[in-house]
Amino acid sequence: MPTQSILLKNATFTTLHPPRLQLGDVRIAGGKILQIGTDLNAEPREEVVDLHAKLLLPGFVCAHTHLYSSLARGMPPATSPPLNFLEILQKIWWRLDQALDEESIYYSALIGAIEAVQCGTTTLVDHHASPNCIDGSLDILQEALEKVGLRGVLCYEVTDRGGPEKRRAGLAENERFLKKQNSELVRGLVGAHASFTLEDETLAACADLAARWNTGIHIHV
């Protein structure tokens, strides 16, 4: 994390606790806000950025994303256009997630994280699926997010669409990552795809896993 001090001058900024809009200066260093005030003087070798007529906001939180979807741009179209949501999954998204390997997981996450920062998003909740590269996939996502400096909540998508072996592997990946929990920036959740791809037994297993690790479930509804 860079430690150089930066002074943001003449900003219009918002605070959330309490919520308010105000004018002034903000000093940051090492990724933390050190001082808020008016007419703050620059310190020696401090970078000064004039934010006159600009709005300074807290980082946005994206509560649902699929970082691997950054690879979907430019994908060849399906031979026949999908006619409903299930066909969209079958002809586009499930084709993509089944093709993911360690390298494509990493670079898709890196691209998505960089684009998030460019848009002011500093926290992501990522619902990941890579049926042919499950074990360790959440570690790869964590590595990419930490390289960019984003906070993240990561889960692996448990589903029955690939059969019992893939279901068990998805549950195991979530539990392995929850057990690890070694990052200041990244945490885990239990991922579950959707009611139409999950048997009752699998949903119960997801709920049990979340209860045992005192965490939540991220699911499509």
What share of the chain has pLDDT > 70, as a percent?
A: 99
Domain membership flag for residue 126: yes
pLDDT digits (tens, 9 = 90+) for 96-150: 999 999 999 999 999 999 999 999 999 999 999 999 999 999 999 999 999 999 9
Nearest partner of 158 among 105, 126, 194, judged by Cα: 194
Same domain, 87 and 133: yes
pLDDT digits (tens, 9 = 90+) for 176-200: 999 998 899 999 999 999 999 999 9
CATH number at residue 18: 2.30.40.10
Same domain, 44 and 66: no
Angle, vertex CA 11, rays to CA 5 and CA 14, nearest 5: 100
Contacts of 56 (CB under 8 A, 6+ apart): 8, 11, 12, 13, 14, 26
CA-CA distance, 218 to 121, in Å (whole number)? 19
**Total number of domains in the chain:** 2
Domain membership flag for residue 20: yes
Residues written for the chain: 221
Mean pLDDT taken over the chain: 93
- Please give the pLDDT value at position 123: 98
Same domain, 127 and 189: yes
- 65 neighbors 105 (Cβ within 8 angstroms): no
Domain end, chosen from 14, 39, 58, is at 58
The range of the structural domain enclosing residue 87 comes to: 61-219
Residue 77 has pLDDT above 80, yes or no: no
Across the range 140-165, mean pLDDT stands at 97
Report pTM: 0.87
- 9 neighbors 50 (Cβ within 8 angstroms): yes
CA-CA distance, 217 to 78, in Å (whole number)? 32
Domain membership flag for residue 153: yes
